């Protein structure tokens, strides 16, 4: 083998050893990086577990250090030794049906188709017989006579104020003197204020004269 051949062989060996050395260092760096990553991951996991344990662990009782100093067990006081729970407020306490009965229902007014006005009494300076005759004629003039009781001088009639019906009950009584009489007029209308009944009563008195 000549000199050149030896030199070429030496160069090849040097290149091969250099390549092996470079590969070795690359592998070392990769292993080191992996080890560092594993260590950091383990430290991070341990920190997370410790933080979670501290966050969920119950706080120590106030008397635990003193019980440890004086030979106590150091555990939290039993349920019987703890302060009693506050009584529930009236607003939050449940209300039983027996303690608070339901309020009574408000009475409802009966359905009334006719509203009676107070009896109106009118004194006339004519005898009861004349007044009775005038009442019958006046009732027939402003409306309709429905019932008549001549013996007691009473009649029941019906008139209208506009389109609203008004029922009238008229009685003729004797006055203090033979030339005096008293009319008792009871009117029943359908309006709440009694305007219809009052207006029809005035019409009846005007018709009587």
Which pLDDT tens digit goes with each residue over 47-64? 888 877 777 655 555 455
- Residue 82 has a pLDDT of 54
State the fold for domain 115-208.
Alpha-D-Glucose-1,6-Bisphosphate; Chain A, domain 4 (3.30.530)
């006081």: which residue's tokens? 77
In percent, how much of the chain has pLDDT > 90?
A: 40
User: What is the pLDDT averaged over residues 65-76?
Assistant: 47
pLDDT digits (tens, 9 = 90+) for 83-120: 555 555 544 444 444 455 666 665 454 444 556 677 89
Give the DSSP H or E segment for 44.
helix 3-56
Tokens of 12: 């090849």
Is 117 within 8 Å of 188 (Cβ atoms)?
yes
- Residue 199 has a pLDDT of 94
């430290």: which residue's tokens? 43
Task: Answer whether 0.75 is exceeded by the pTM.
Answer: no
- Residue 74 has a pLDDT of 46
pLDDT digits (tens, 9 = 90+) for 6-38: 556 666 666 667 777 788 889 898 999 888 988
Mean predicted lDDT score pLDDT of the chain: 77
- Residue 5 has a pLDDT of 60
- Residue 10 has a pLDDT of 62
> Which of helix, strand or coil describes residue 161?
strand
What region does 98 belong to: left with phi over 0, alpha with psi -120 to 50, or beta?
alpha
Q: Contacts by 184-189 with C-beta closer than 8 Å and gap 24+?
A: 184/119, 184/120, 184/121, 185/119, 185/120, 185/121, 185/122, 186/116, 186/117, 186/119, 186/120, 187/116, 187/117, 187/120, 188/114, 188/115, 188/116, 188/117, 189/114, 189/115, 189/117, 189/161, 189/164, 189/165
Residue 161: φ, ψ to 5°: -115, 100
């470079």: which residue's tokens? 22
Q: Domain residues of the chain, as ranges?
A: 1-55, 115-208
> Which of helix, strand or coil describes residue 6?
helix
Q: Which residue has the higher pLDDT, 144 or 104?
A: 144
- Sorted by sequence, the CB contacts under 8 Å of residue 124 that are 6+ apart come out as 131, 175, 180, 181, 182, 183, 208
């Amino acid at each position: 083998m000549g000199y050149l051949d030896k030199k070429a062989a030496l160069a090849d060996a040097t290149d091969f050893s250099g390549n092996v050395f470079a590969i070795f260092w690359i592998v070392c760096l990769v292993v080191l990086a992996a080890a560092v990553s594993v260590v950091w991951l383990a430290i991070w996991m341990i920190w997370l577990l410790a933080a979670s344990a501290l966050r969920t662990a119950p706080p120590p009782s106030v008397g635990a250090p003193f019980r440890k100093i004086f030979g106590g067990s150091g555990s939290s006081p039993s349920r019987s030794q703890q302060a009693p729970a506050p009584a529930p407020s009236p607003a939050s306490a449940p209300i039983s049906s027996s303690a608070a009965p339901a309020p009574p229902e408000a009475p409802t007014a009966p359905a009334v188709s006719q509203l009676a006005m107070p009896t109106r009494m009118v004194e006339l300076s004519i005898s009861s017989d004349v007044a009775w005759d005038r009442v019958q004629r006046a009732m027939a003039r402003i409306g309709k006579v429905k019932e008549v009781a001549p013996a007691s001088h009473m009649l029941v009639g019906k008139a209208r104020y506009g389109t609203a019906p008004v029922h009238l009950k008229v009685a003729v009584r004797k006055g203090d003197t033979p030339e005096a009489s008293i009319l008792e007029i009871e009117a029943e209308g359908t309006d709440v204020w009694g305007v219809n009944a009052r207006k029809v009563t005035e019409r009846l008195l005007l018709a009587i004269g």
